[in-house]
Chain A
Amino acid sequence: MVNVQGPWSPLIGRLSLGAIPDNPIIAGAFLFSAVLGVVILGYLTFGHKWGYLWREWLTTVDHKKIGVMYILIGLVMLFRGFIDAVMMRTQQVLADGPHSPGFLGAAHGYLLPYHFDQIYSAHGTIMILFAATPILVGLMNIIVPLQIGARDMAFPYLNALGLWLTAVGAALIMLSLFLGDFSHAGWVGLTPLTEMAYSPGVGVDYWIWAIQIASVGTTLGAANLIATIIKMRAPGMTWSRLPIFTWTSLSTNIIALTSFPVLGVALGLLGADRYFGTHFFTAGLGGNLMLYADLFWIWGHPEVYFVILPAFGMMSEIIPTFAEKPLFGYATMVAASFAIAGVSWSVWLHHFFTMGAGPSVNTFFSIATMIVGIPTGVKVFNWAFTVYHGRSRFETPMLWAVGALFMLLLGGLTGMMLAMPPINYSVHNSVFVVAHFHTMLMVVIYGIMGAVAYWFPKVFGFKLDEPLGKRFFWFFTAGTIMVFIPMYTSGFMGMTRRLDYIANPALLPFEIAEEIGIGLYVVSVYYFVRQLFVSVRDRASHRVGADAWGSARTLEWLTPSPVPFYNYAVTPRVHARDELVWRREQGLEAATAAHYEDILMPKNTPVPLVIGAFAMTLGFGLVWRIWWLTDASFLGIILTVIARSFVRDTDYVVRAGEVRKIEQGLRGNTPGTGGDGTQGGVGVWRPQESGS
């Protein structure tokens, strides 16, 4: 083991009272979380909700509930990442020019450099790995089995395990706020800055283990989703009928399955350097720090396509629904998704064109990068031709989808600039790059917001409030424009990224504009929260039938909303690519099965949660170097897995009679049948005698 600076004891490792930061900002954050925690615990205890929570959520293996929990984690982390963004922007607007004021002990602005560096590192890590990724995984979890007419996923237990490992990663990052510190070396973990010599604290260790544990979860989830799509399709759901979101989920999870292990290697070797004193990425003694850049970006670049492909899939579902027309160019859409996924493997070097590789290498990766623009462009054109001769309605999901499309154009334009080495040499590591990738990641966020609004009624049985949703959209969009357009401009002024202090006072107008954008974002978050609140409060009047939008096209809209735990009472037979449209045109939209069968479902189990708990103590022990804890946790995981493998009856049967009762109950309470009976111009689903 390498020697660590500061005290270490066998019992508590590097922990000491000094590990608790005495910073007023963190104290405030701690107070906020503590109050929130107390309120939640109090509610659970006095509302007698523990049993419900345990039975219905913590031990569940239902892919929909797991998906919902993924999304909740993602939203909480999105909020945390947003607070980080607010802090960064506020620091930069305050710390511009040598005469800018200083507060809280900082020479300029209110954050010390080391604190600011942790914030952007946490922001990037959180936003990509703990906000975007979980929300997307959650949405895929919920929607893909429904879209292919499956009753469950291929590996429901594995799925729950993936969730809890992701939760552990998120929890470790949150813990780093209050105990110790977080990495200061960016979300990419620049070597050799992350080596012990330059990052002697526990920050980098938090970063390593949070990602490492969560990415095991993501990899497992990817294997599960791929197996589900390949093996669990309903009869008639041929490859040429697979909904496009399922296609993109497949391509994206192939990326995840093959690229996350490489990240695991990169972090594992970095961990070896930090824990055992090996020399993989050190500057001296035969290490090679560029190897880290390669390994990281071999994952890192595919990862950005991992997050954008599902967003493309969401846009490809939303746009046809609200244009009331089939997706243009289905086959090329599929081909384009796989082309993007395939090429994404051969472009990673564009993240370090400036590392001095020869011009032939740079040219190769430059052209490979540009090639990604071809299938992406095809997608854009296909969306445009989907609305051509359509009947577009601009409900919130459509607004987000269209917004995403325009963001993609801007992000693509700037991406194509970065892909050209002579341009890259002058804007690499500048805020121009920051603006590029936020524009692109906004495509993801827009896709997510659209998808949440779009599929929310499917999962919960009622729609989100439209007017508030629109307000959320417009303020969010205004914020995005105000923050990131000026950032492109300051990039041309030579402003580099990751600055806690900006030497050039001429940048102030841009910083101020961006701060106004942050204000608009704050308003948008208010509307988002209010939208959730109002929609839940008024859910009775927002109830919907199976086809919430009246013009939906794919299979998932066939089963009642909210979806019963077994998804489909009887497995549907698929006849067309847009099955619901096919049935609608045949007048069979409302037909239900004549009789029901017994259903075999997996039992709930606490095992994934238990493994998650051990993973948490394992991560904690590793960060603080408490070896007895790590050993015990590791042993605990192995023993749990072995014990679980001896459990034989893991399934239970839902009797046909019970299925019938549930179905009748669900279909009976469908509202919207009163009043005008139409929504979005298309007749809503009406209850009907089964089998008629």
Chain B
Amino acid sequence: MQARRYDTIARRVGYLARSLVPLSLLFLSGCSAHGLSRQFLLFRPAGPLSAADLRFTILDVAVMLGIIIPTAVMTTYFLLRYRKTRASAAYDPHWSHSNLIEIVVWTIPVLTVALLGYESYKGTYAVNPYDPRMIKTAAPGRAPLAVDVITTDWQWLFIYPQQHIAIANKLVIPRGTPVVFRMTSATVVNDFFIPNLSGMIDVMPGMRTKQVLVADKTGQYKGYSANFSGSGFSWMGFRTHVVSRSGFTRWAQAMEKSPRHLDYAQFNVFAKPTTNTDGKTYAFSQVHARLFDQVIKGVLAGKVYTTRLPPPGAA
């Protein structure tokens, strides 16, 4: 008796917990006017790459829900309709096979996977950073801007080889211009990610990966490392400023006056393990033209920026 009462209570709590979820979503949509919806970075693409990612997300979810929802409904219906306590329901204690059902049951997923597989093929080629068709069509005929990215423990260094400038923990790019990134890491693997602008690509020591993006809208966007890299990882963010093209030129000219310079020796000092807790940025001018290659070469020759015992952040 007592047990049954508890049971109902427990079930009610279960219901309550479940209804809290949609409620919390409602609460969010209520706030959307005040900017919370803007926090759904993946739903607010500011460039063709992330727009494509979003398009494929919507497509995939729509197709999958087309199967998942009917399946869930059907299963629930069967469970409730053919429950033991409902004596009037049909009961067939031996039925366990039907060729027709088996055929249908295999065919539906096969066809769906065929469709999704095709879309996946299209999508993968569409956002392929090594063959950026999206970019070519999005910004035809614009001379691309080159940016070399080097990650350290735990900072980002963005080098503009054409301008001989570099800036740490902040990325400035002009609107409407394709930006071609080359990336490498001085230490461990990181993952370059600007949710509003582009998908992720790993940044690996001793290797070179690429990303290409075009920003459609000016503004500030969050960027960060998406691959765990050690104690300073949570603070390894950078701000991306998308500015007008003339704004970019002005910024680059101002940067050239910066007193700090950067060659490989200075880089090795910069690359000492540092957790960038307060989001500091550093500007460099007269950056060595081949710094990026030197870093890769150094890593390949066995250069490591060793962590000391006890590791940073340990008690």
Contact = CB atoms under 8 A, between A and B. Distances in A.
Interface in B121-151: 121, 123-131
A115 B188 contact: no
Given A409-B71, A420-B60, A426-B53, A284 B96 contact: no
Contacts of A330: 96-97
Interface in A364-423: 366-367, 370-371, 373-374, 377-378, 380-394, 402, 405-406, 409-410, 412-413, 416-417, 419-423
A273 to B, nearest CB: 12
Contacts of B193: 494, 496
Nearest to A527: B10
B199 to A, nearest CB: 3
A501 B234 contact: yes
A481 interface: yes
Contacts, number: 381
A474 B9 CA distance: 10
Interface stretch (B158-166, B258-266, B284-292, B295-303): B295-303
B127 A425 contact: yes
A112 B4 CA distance: 45
B195 A359 contact: no
A240 interface: no
B113 A117 contact: no
A470 B123 CA distance: 45
A110 B198 CA distance: 34
Interface string A352-364: 1011101100110
A284 B39 contact: no
Contacts of B277: 107
B69 to A, nearest CB: 9
B10 A471 contact: yes
A200 interface: yes
B57 A198 contact: no
**Most B-side CB within 10 Å, residue of A113, A184, A502, A681:** A113
A427 B188 contact: no
B195 A426 contact: yes
Nearest to A319: B79
Interface string B69-109: 00110110011001110000111111111100110011011
Given A192-B188, A470-B10, A197 B92 contact: no
Nearest to A320: B96
A676 B202 CA distance: 67
B191 A354 contact: yes
B307 to A, nearest CB: 5
B228 to A, nearest CB: 4
A115 B234 CA distance: 13
Contacts of A359: 124-125, 128, 130-131
B17 interface: yes
Interface stretch (B40-48, B167-175, B242-250): B40-48
Contact of A5 (B120, B200, B299, B308): B308
B117 A425 contact: no
A186 to B, nearest CB: 6
Nearest to A680: B84
B315 A105 contact: yes
Contacts of A500: 234
Contacts of B4: 467
Given A324-B93, A509-B24, A422 B56 contact: yes
Contacts of A113: 231-234, 275, 312-313
B237 interface: yes
A328 B94 CA distance: 10
**Most B-side CB within 10 Å, residue of A184, A332, A363, A486:** A363
B228 A409 contact: no
A393 B17 contact: no
Interface string A498-524: 111111101101100100110010000
Contacts of A402: 75, 79
Contacts of A517: 17
Interface in B205-227: 205-206, 209-210, 222, 224-227
B251 to A, nearest CB: 24
Contacts of B10: 470-471, 474-475, 527
Contacts of A527: 10
A199 interface: yes
A494 B195 contact: yes
A489 B42 CA distance: 11
Contacts of A498: 228, 233
Interface in A481-501: 481-482, 485-486, 489, 492-494, 496-501
B309 A390 contact: no
A507 B36 CA distance: 10
A429 interface: yes
A657 to B, nearest CB: 41
A412 B68 contact: yes
A329 interface: yes
Nearest to A374: B109
Contacts of A513: 20-21, 24
A574 B306 CA distance: 65
A639 B262 CA distance: 62
A430 B226 contact: yes
Nearest to A382: B105
Nearest to A478: B17
B50 interface: yes
B117 A394 contact: no
Given A193-B229, A325-B96, A387-B75, A428 B60 contact: no
B65 interface: yes
Interface string A33-51: 0000000000000000000
B90 A201 contact: no
B50 to A, nearest CB: 7
A392 B79 contact: yes
A486 B21 contact: yes
A597 B302 CA distance: 70
A413 B120 contact: no
B201 interface: yes
Nearest to B153: A198
Given A370-B113, A409-B68, A492-B40, A426 B200 contact: yes
Contacts of A510: 24
Contact of A192 (B78, B93, B131, B189): B189
Given A284-B206, A392-B83, A200 B311 contact: yes
B71 A384 contact: yes
B84 A381 contact: no
Contact of A494 (B14, B42, B131, B299): B42
A406 B74 CA distance: 12
A474 B7 CA distance: 9
B93 A426 contact: no
B97 A366 contact: no
Nearest to A507: B39
A422 B308 contact: no
B53 A423 contact: yes
Given A197-B306, A509-B28, A493 B301 contact: no
A502 B235 CA distance: 9
Interface of A: 5-6, 21-23, 105, 107, 112-115, 117, 181, 184-186, 190-193, 197-201, 282-285, 289-290, 323-330, 332, 352, 354-356, 358-359, 362-363, 366-367, 370-371, 373-374, 377-378, 380-394, 402, 405-406, 409-410, 412-413, 416-417, 419-430, 467-468, 470-471, 474-475, 477-479, 481-482, 485-486, 489, 492-494, 496-504, 506-507, 509-510, 513, 516-517, 520, 527, 681
14 contacts: A283-B185, A284-B205, A284-B301, A329-B105, A330-B96, A332-B102, A355-B202, A358-B130, A392-B83, A420-B119, A423-B56, A475-B13, A479-B17, A504-B222
Complex A-B, nearest 10 residue pairs according to Cβ-Cβ distance, in ascending order = A425-B199, A478-B17, A467-B3, A283-B205, A422-B123, A494-B41, A474-B14, A494-B195, A326-B96, A377-B109
Given A373-B109, A380-B71, A486-B24, 19 more contacts: A115-B314, A192-B187, A198-B153, A283-B206, A327-B96, A354-B200, A356-B129, A370-B113, A370-B117, A385-B78, A413-B64, A423-B60, A428-B191, A429-B200, A474-B13, A475-B13, A478-B17, A496-B224, A527-B10
